[in-house]
Amino acid sequence: MGENNWGEEFAKFLDVTLQESAHFLMAVVEELEEVAIEVDQNLADAIAPLLDHVLAYESLLDQATQPLGQTINPLLDHHPACVGCRHYHGQTYGDAFLVCAMYPYGWSERSCPDWESVWR
């Protein structure tokens, strides 16, 4: 009878210990979630200004190199009348290539009447 009672007591002890451990682990997980949210917010706050600077730099770089692209790309696209023209677009939309709004397929002669220098 003493052994049987000991087994029941040990089972109760294990049950209580496991429940307390589960509660403790849940509290740790909740605390870690709160810390993770705080770290995430702090990183976002720290990175956002840097990202703004990178995006501003990228935009500035795109603006600065646009004349180079309009000067070089028409050679690659076989539109010699468009070399250095500020109206050159040179983008593909589906299967269609748009040279510029005035001459969607490009100018067929050596010099275009609407040519304007990309270098202001």
How would you write the pLDDT of the chain (120 residues) with one tens digit per residue? 455 688 888 889 999 999 999 999 999 999 999 999 999 999 989 888 888 888 888 887 777 776 666 666 776 667 888 888 989 888 888 888 899 989 998 888 888 999 999 877
CA distances from 10 to 1, 5, 7, 15, 45 (A): 14, 9, 5, 9, 52
Report the C-alpha gap between 56 and 83 in whole angstroms: 28
pLDDT for residue 84: 86
pLDDT for residue 76: 65
pLDDT for residue 24: 94
pLDDT for residue 61: 78
Q: Where are the domains of the chain?
A: 2-98
Determine the residue type at 112: C
